[in-house]
Amino acid sequence: MNNPLYDTLFGIHAGKATPFLRLVSGQVITYHHFLATAAQIANAASALGLKPGDRIAAQVEKSPETLALYAACAQAGLVFLPLNTAYTVDELSYFIENSGAALVVCDERSRAGLVPVAEQLGAQLATLNADGSGSLMEQASALPTTFATVARAGDDLAALLYTSGTTGRSKGAMLTQDNLLSNTKALVAEWRFTADDVLLHALPIFHTHGLFVASNVTLSAGGSMIFLPKFDQDEIIRQLPAATTLMGVPTFYTRLLSDARFTKALTTHMRLFVSGSAPLLAETHVQFEERTGHRILERYGMTETNMNTSNPYAGERRAGTVGFPLPGVEIKITRAESGETLPPGEIGEIEVRGPNVFKGYWEMPEKTAAELRADGFFITGDLGRIDEDGYVHIVGRNKDLIISGGYNIYPKEIELVLDDQPGVLESAVIGVPHADFGETVLGVLVAEPGQTPDLDGIMAAVSVSLARFKHPRKLIVLAELPRNTMGKVQKNVLRDSYRGLFSA
């Protein structure tokens, strides 16, 4: 193969008149039509003077053309840099400057704010709107529907994805062709995807989950996608009878469970429900299985590695775990201070090694050296343990660890107790500054609809289940927990909000 990524995901479908994308409007886009659009975009990028290895930064709404832009980058040997549509101009300025993007593609509504940024940083600017209009497609539509695929090697950079940057500046994770392809092949095999699968795709495609898991797996298997612009409960329920699989974040499943139309009959034909990007409550697992007869498959991944583990397709899918390492992926639990490997059952830092692990952080050699060991193991920053049966449990992020009075406290352990209390829908436990103990524990609760949690009763239950040093000093009830676009609880926001609670 002269371009592994393009040839494996896209080139194999050349000329196929079979459906690839099914839109809400009823329009069906075939593989042939999709690849013709991608080739036109590749021609447009070439006409703008872009050459292999150049970066294209794209902050655009989800659309078939956006996905075709990704395919065009693969075909032309360009590095695709998808950006969260919620980012402000100030945030975008950093990504554009740091990446050295040669072309910025944005929605027409963002153009005015980005013109001075692009000019200052020497980047070209093109527009692409959710309906497929904009200057990029205007130029591309007049160009040939074929493009000579640029030769690339497996170690060549295919994508640059920036981490969320909750502590310090975001880091650009360099993902190679081999990184993406190894993960795709493993997931297709593990989750048994075939050309008969129809994926109900309601995830954003500026993120690993929606782009490199959902889309790549479907492309590799030759299946099709019902391509929704975003999660829409009514549309999900309307489209489910035509799908075989759904990939989502926990919010997808809790919202569906709150809808009386979501029944066993509606899901009887479904093959697989996958959840990731944030932990799924054990209660949601139970409710979903009781309602539908299906057990959600939970997995674990991150920007720098794509997917690392998965609960088994055939076998016990254990709530509260993320299953086993994928084929070719190694997981170990280490002591943060020394890097010493810990025995089964002990909590430590999760390290990952495999063909899925990224090449390093863009223009950050010190950060790369600090987090990517010489032997290839990546220090994820996640805390976890491996139980006696080999299932991986995620306990939390290393930065979420609470050290109070010299004791290490893992928020997940407390959250499991709080989540199990009457009237509590979910919880988040954080550490906040305390004069005597350095940090102390704060519990933030969200009540079940129509319920008022008994805070005294909850504290009494906690005192029975947990050692005193783990007890929350205070419980606070909020209407909802702050989350990012992928459904992850933003504990940094909570810490900022309650930083001064016990400082007086």
Q: pLDDT digit string (tens) for 141-165? A: 999 999 999 999 999 999 999 986 5
Q: What percent of the chain has pLDDT over 90?
A: 80
- Position 88 scores a pLDDT of 84
When the pLDDT of each residue in the chain is averaged and rounded to a whole number, the result is 93
Q: Specify which residues 172 forms β-bridges with.
A: 162
Distances (CA, A) of 103 to 83, 110, 321: 13, 15, 41
Distance CA 241, CA 266 (A): 7
Q: pLDDT digit string (tens) for 47-71? A: 999 999 999 999 999 999 999 999 9
Tokens matching residue 484 = 């990012």
Domains detected in the chain: 4-20+30-152 (3.40.50.980), 401-497 (3.30.300.30)
Q: Rounded to a whole number, what is the largest CA-CA distance in the chain?
A: 71
Residue 299's pLDDT band, with cuts at 50, 70 and 90, is very high
Per mean pLDDT, which of 168-172, 179-183, 396-400, 489-493 is the most reliable? 179-183
pLDDT at 167 over 50: no
Closest CA to 457 of 420, 432, 426, 494: 420
Q: Mean of the pLDDT values across residues 28-42?
A: 98
Select the more confidently predicted residue: 381 or 189.
189
Rg (CA), the chain: 23
Residue 504's pLDDT band, with cuts at 50, 70 and 90, is low
- Position 164 scores a pLDDT of 63
* DSSP per position, 279-308: PPPHHHHHHHHHHHS--PEEEEEETTTEEE
- Position 166 scores a pLDDT of 45
